[in-house]
């Protein structure tokens, strides 16, 4: 495969920059940390994206997680089309919201669930609820975890904050301009996978803490896998009366039908979802213990609302996605097999080419850190940050120019879908062989 023209993407990017900050509606899309022209996408089907210049790419973004069944899946398309014939928004309750809530509570064990419109809204609302329920002010988060862009959560945050905000690597809280120190001071930051630090913090401040929010498998510092020790420490926080809030926006319905929580045997008080729960349309949700959730308005005193919440099209897409996942439990095994083969392939090729690489993977989430440490040994944000980002950027461009669209940042996970087959795997590994070898296109 050869490098193709980017004329139309370039022209659109120029027009976009004149009317939108940085030319994009979410920072990582601008390719700031990897350079080059962000591809403007015309359409997406199955495992492929097609850009405005007509170039096709094997897609490892999957819209950053939602497209677990691949793009333009016929069942999802049909469900949305059917919903569309009944109108696009009611501002009054409908049947699909009840059906999706029933399905989510059955799959996850949550007592109640409330739908919102994004992952950001889900975490923001869950933390307000935790504060309302406990009557406490402080929350704890972990360095390099990302929970959306609500003020109090942009503190030592991961994802685009690791590559786009200026001087953020290793910087002190907050990680965005515009977040008052007073807000940030209510967010206490601990190190992911450091059970002693978490225990010490809880001993000292536990009585003031409303919630401990965490990514059960991190995707937003690149993939980080929790240690059993750390999981045990997370459960211990409940003893202080703080609520344990699992952010499964990325991992929910991806790592299993009950997310990372099900996979790891976690028992959070509240859980946040997004991405897959909306099947590619804008949905988030939070749920969990019924006694806590009943603090949400109109049942309880914690206010939270949304004009488009429970939107019929979004509910239809979410329902169709979760039902399809439930009807095909073998899908998770196929995702596992594909991603394991991808990891093994990358490992072998990087070793052959003498490129230092350390792979972290859980199911269909994978990050290949450009670092000379054993696979699986990167456990914290500080370790992840030691990666050779220039080396990664060069490799990323090598992949892109050969028709493989990897996540455009060293500190993100890639996402494999059910539409990825041996054919895409072979194309990917062929591209990777040349990209690690530095072979010109």
Which region, judged by CB under 6 A, interacts with ligand PMP, from 88-96, 117-125, 199-207, 340-348?
Answer: 117-125
Is 120 one of the binding residues for ligand PMP (CB under 6 A)? yes
Which region, judged by CB under 6 A, interacts with ligand PMP, from 41-49, 140-148, 316-324, 425-433?
Answer: 140-148
HSE-up of residue 412 (Cα within 13 Å, Cβ side): 26
User: Would you state the structure tokens that stand for residue 29, as one six-digit string?
Assistant: 């899309």
Choose which of 48, 138, 146, 411 interacts with ligand PMP (CB under 6 A): 146
State which residue, 38 or 148, has the beta carbon closest to ligand PMP.
148
Rounded to a whole number of angstroms, the CA Rg of the chain reads 21
**Sheet with 41-45, side-by-side order of all strands:** 41-45, 48-51, 56-59, 404-405
Choose which of 38, 119, 310, 312 interacts with ligand PMP (CB under 6 A): 119
Which residue in the shown chain puts its C-beta closest to ligand PMP?
119
Q: 96 to each of 208, 320, 416, how far by Cα in Å?
A: 39, 11, 28
Contact flags string 19-58 toward ligand PMP, x per CB under 6 A: ----------------------------------------
In contact, 298 and 291? CB cutoff 8 Å: no
**According to CB under 6 A, which residues from 185 to 224 bind ligand PMP?**
215, 219-220
- Residue in 36, 37, 30 with CA at minimum distance from that of residue 9: 37
Question: Could you tell me where the DSSP H helices lie in 206-267?
Answer: 228-236, 259-264
Per the omega criterion (within 30 degrees of 0), is the bond before 298 cis?
yes
User: Would you state the structure tokens that stand for residue 63, as one six-digit string?
Assistant: 């819209």
CB of 187 to ligand PMP, least distance (A): 15
Say how far apart CA 31 and CA 22 lie, in whole Å. 10
**According to CB under 6 A, which residues from 55 to 114 bind ligand PMP?**
64
- Residue in 163, 224, 222, 160 with CA at minimum distance from that of residue 192: 224
Choose which of 123, 134, 261, 324 interacts with ligand PMP (CB under 6 A): 123
**According to CB under 6 A, which residues from 239 to 258 bind ligand PMP?**
247, 249-250
State which residue, 274 or 418, has the beta carbon closest to ligand PMP.
274
**According to CB under 6 A, which residues from 255 to 314 bind ligand PMP?**
274, 284
CB of 149 to ligand PMP, least distance (A): 7
Summarize as ranges the residues that interact with ligand PMP (CB under 6 A).
Answer: 64, 118-120, 123, 146-148, 159, 215, 219-220, 247, 249-250, 274, 284
């Amino acid at each position: 495969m050869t490098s193709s023209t980017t004329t139309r993407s370039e022209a659109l990017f120029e027009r976009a920059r004149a009317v939108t900050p940085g030319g994009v509606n979410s920072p990582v899309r601008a390719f700031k940390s990897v350079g080059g022209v962000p591809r403007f996408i015309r359409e997406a089907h199955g495992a492929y994206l097609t850009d405005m210049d007509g170039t096709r790419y094997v897609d490892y973004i999957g819209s950053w997680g939602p497209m677990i069944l691949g793009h333009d899946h016929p069942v999802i398309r049909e469900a949305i089309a059917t919903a569309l014939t009944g109108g696009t928004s009611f501002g009054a309750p409908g049947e699909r919201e009840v059906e999706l809530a029933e399905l989510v509570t059955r799959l996850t064990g949550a007592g109640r669930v409330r739908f919102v419109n994004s992952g950001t809204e889900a975490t923001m609302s869950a933390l307000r609820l935790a504060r309302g329920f406990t009557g406490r002010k402080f929350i704890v988060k972990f360095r390099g975890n990302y929970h959306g862009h609500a003020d109090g959560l942009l503190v030592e945050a991961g994802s685009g904050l690791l590559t786009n905000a200026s001087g953020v690597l290793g910087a002190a809280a907050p990680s965005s301009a515009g977040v008052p120190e007073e807000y940030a001071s209510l967010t206490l930051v601990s190190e992911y996978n450091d059970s002693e630090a978490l225990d010490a913090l809880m001993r000292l401040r536990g009585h003031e803490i409303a919630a401990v929010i965490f990514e059960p498998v991190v995707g937003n510092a690149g993939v980080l896998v929790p240690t059993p020790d750390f999981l045990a420490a997370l459960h211990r926080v409940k003893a202080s009366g703080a609520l344990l809030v699992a952010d499964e926006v990325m991992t929910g319905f991806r790592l299993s039908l009950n997310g990372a929580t099900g996979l790891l045997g976690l028992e959070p008080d509240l859980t946040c979802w997004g991405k897959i729960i909306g099947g590619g349309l804008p949905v988030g949700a939070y749920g969990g213990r019924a006694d806590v959730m009943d603090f949400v308005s109109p049942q309880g005193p914690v206010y939270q609302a949304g004009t488009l919440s429970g939107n019929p099209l979004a509910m239809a897409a979410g329902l169709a996605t979760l039902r399809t996942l439930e009807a095909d439990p073998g899908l998770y095994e196929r995702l596992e097999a594909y991603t394991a083969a991808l990891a093994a392939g990358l490992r072998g090729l990087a070793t052959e080419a003498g490129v230092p690489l350390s792979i972290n993977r859980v199911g269909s989430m994978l990050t290949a850190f450009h670092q000379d440490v054993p696979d699986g040994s990167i456990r914290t944000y500080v370790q992840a940050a030691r990666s050779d980002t220039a080396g990664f950027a060069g490799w990323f461009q090598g992949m892109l120019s050969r028709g493989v669209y990897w996540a455009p940042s060293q500190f993100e996970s890639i996402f494999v879908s059910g539409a990825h087959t041996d054919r895409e795997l072979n194309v990917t590994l062929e591209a990777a062989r040349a990209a690690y070898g530095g072979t010109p296109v």
